[in-house]
Amino acid sequence: MKRFPDVVANDHIDFELKAGEIHALLGENGAGKTTLMNVLYGIYRPDEGKIYVGGERAEIKSPRDAIYLGLGMVHQHFMLVHPHTVAENVALGLSSSKFLFPVREVEKGVAELSERYGLKIDSKAKIWQLSVGEQQRVEIIKALYRGAQVLILDEPTSVLTPGETRDLFNTLRRIAKEGRSIIFITHKLDEAMEISDRITVLRHGKVVATVRASETNKRELARMMVGREVLFRLEKKPAKRGEVVLEVKNLHALNDKGLPAIKGVSFTLSQGEILGIAGVAGNGQRELVEVINGLRKATEGKVFILGQDRTNCSPKEVIEMKVAHIPEERIRMGLVSNMSIAENLVLKNYRDSPFSKILFLNLAVIDQEAEKLISEYNIITPSKKTQAKLLSGGNIQRLILARELSENPCLIVAAHPTYGLDVGATEYIRTLLLKQREEGAAVLLVSEDLEEIMSLSDRIAVMFEGVFIGILPAESAEVEEIGLMMAGAKRMTDVKEGS
């Protein structure tokens, strides 16, 4: 049992894991899955209850104890030291590492593991240069290198393409066959059904049931998880396209390593339209989003917003054009975790009346606005003064959306808006984006979730190695075709915009 200020996150949980088993832990955000695992991994201490490993009572006081007991964890938000290399991150905290040159030995081991499980990681690459998907693989290697007998994966597939997910599943099955156990935390029903032997469903911090994957179905799981029947399809009205909002012409930009990441991208995006950009992480999507938002310099080409040249403007000038940005890394970029929810909600418009006058912030108005947005966007929090870091993943994203959408943006750049979120929050966020589209906003949607791209977009662009392989109208697009294009196996011979 684990209590947080004002909340009981885990309420008398009974959970049992067998050797060689893949056990899915299914539940919505805030259901207590991550908390439970953090207790197992020694990051939090239980307020009540006991843990047994291999039949022995275990007191896990720190991640060190957990690692010693053979537990390995791949967190939802990666725990990596960004300026360091892959091997250095693996070596960090290893008790066996030598005092001098601790990394050399590790590099060999990392290469071996990477080879053995097909993880394709360069042990000398620096973490900040890697895509989210690659960083996750580093986390898996880290756990395996420490000889983990139980591997805990927290929402591992949210960053992966269908192909990568398949590879991950194969890797996991191989690991399980070696007699190791895997706890697979997810909110995706299909995945839980596909990969696991048994599934434990959590809701509001309590165990609803533990079932065999072969003896249940998606519908039943969804009902247990959400507590009501769930709609799997979204209502989408036909597009009412207006003026061109965003025009990108022959854009080029470098990535953090100084190598070309965008190599000549052109497209237009109009009012009332959603352009989905599909692609595997690390093919230039992040750089494209950053250039449009003024966070990265274009080396060549132009960006026009509402017909005005906004190439290489400051982020502030882009914000002033009413461009909303839902960032890929919510916590690193979109949130000031130690500040209150109210203060986080004015991050973009604190300069404007009525939130400030001349030099001073108008705290009364800021608080009022916070109250309004908290109820409008259903942000679940004890108060507007609560520090943002105490919110659950889904509520953090609600906070960011509340901030970004409340100013009636003309353009919304949404990067992985539902990454890591549960069914309820995902449904809500997608509905919000569709509503913005109906109200005439232009939406640029970057996502690795093909289902999301297919169900929201009017047109779909596939990005591979810094270029758009093609732009297809959503009605005629096939998942298989897009999948092949994402992998670079298929190119449209005539790279023209579909309409």
Partner 1 sequence: MRPRLKIEKRLVTSRRVMFLASVLSIALALLAIALVFWEYGVDPIYAYTEIFIGSFGSIFGLSDTIAKAIPLMLCGVGLAVAFKALVWNIGAEGQLLMGAIAATGIALYVFPDAPAAVVLPSMFVAGFLSGALWGLVPSVLKAKLRANEVITTLMMNYIASNLVNYLVYGAWKGLKEWGFPYTDKFPSSAWIPTLPIGTGRIHYPTLILALMLAVLTYVLVMRTKLGYEIRVTGENPDAARYAGMSYFKTAMLVMLISGGLAGLAGVGEVAGNPSHHRLRYPQGISPGYGFIAIIVAWLGRLHPLAIIISSLLFGGLLVGGDAIQVSLGLPFAVIGIFNGVILFFVIGAELLLRYKVTIEWRREG
Footprint on this chain of partner 1 (rule: CB under 8 A): 4-5, 43-45, 61-62, 293-295, 314-320, 325, 327, 332-339, 343, 347-348, 350-351, 356, 359-361, 363, 387, 389-390
Select 192 or 335, whichever has its Cβ closest to partner 1.
335
Nearest approach, Cβ of residue 166 and partner 1 (Å):
33
Strands 198-203, 22-27: pairing is parallel
- In the complex, minimum distance from the CB of residue 2 to partner 1, in angstroms, rounded to a whole number: 11
CB of 114 to partner 1, least distance (A): 29
Residue 423: both structure tokens together: 């069914």
Residue 264: enclosing H or E segment and its boundaries?
strand 260-270
Q: Which is nearer to partner 1, 60 or 201 (CB)?
A: 60
Report in angstroms how near the CB of residue 93 gets to partner 1 at its nearest.
15
CB 139 within 8 A of CB 78: yes
d(CA 268, CA 174): 45
CB of 431 to partner 1, least distance (A): 25
- Shortest Cβ distance from residue 480 to partner 1 (Å)? 37
Q: Smallest distance from the beta carbon of 347 to partner 1, in angstroms?
A: 5
**Residue 129 or 181 having the CB closest to partner 1:** 129
Provide the minimum distance between the beta carbon of 427 and partner 1 in the complex, in angstroms, as a whole number. Answer: 26
Query: Which residue number, 230 or 390, has a Cβ lying nearer to partner 1?
Result: 390
Residue closer to partner 1 by CB (options 39, 486) is: 39
**Tokens 């599934």 found at:** 199
Nearer to partner 1, 181 or 381 (CB): 381
Minimum CB distance to partner 1, residue 53 (Å)? 18
Residue 201's Cβ-side half-sphere holds a number of Cα atoms within 13 Å equal to 23
Q: Enter the tokens of residue 405.
A: 């959408």
Give every strand in the sheet of 323-326, ordered side by side. Answer: 323-326, 411-415, 442-447, 274-278, 459-464, 467-473
**The two three-digit tokens of residue 286, written as one number:** 């992040």
Identify which of residues 29 and 457 has a Cβ nearer to partner 1 in the complex. Answer: 29
Q: Which is nearer to partner 1, 100 or 359 (CB)?
A: 359
Find the shortest distance in angstroms from Cβ 84 to partner 1. Answer: 18
- Of the two residues 81 and 489, which places its CB atom closer to partner 1 in the complex? 81
Cα 190 to Cα 166: distance, rounded to the nearest angstrom: 12
Listed residue (87, 91, 114, 86) closest to 171, CA to CA: 114
CA distances from residue 153 to 113, 140, 425 in whole angstroms, order as listed: 17, 8, 21
What whole-number distance in Å separates Cα of residue 418 and Cα of residue 401? 11
Whole-angstrom Cα distance, residue 382 to residue 365?
A: 20
Q: How far is the CB of 495 from partner 1 (least distance, A)?
A: 32
Per-residue tokens: 55: 């039949």
C-beta closer to partner 1: residue 45 or 116: 45
Q: Is 144 or 402 the residue whose CB approaches partner 1 more closely?
A: 402
Pairing of strands 442-447, 274-278: parallel
Q: How many CA within 13 A on the CB side of residue 127?
A: 19
Structure tokens at 236: 């989408």
Which secondary-structure segment (H or E) carries 445? Answer: strand 442-447
Residues contacting 41, CB < 8 A, separation 6+: 60, 63, 66, 71, 73, 152
Q: How far apart are CA 498 and CA 140, in angstroms?
A: 40
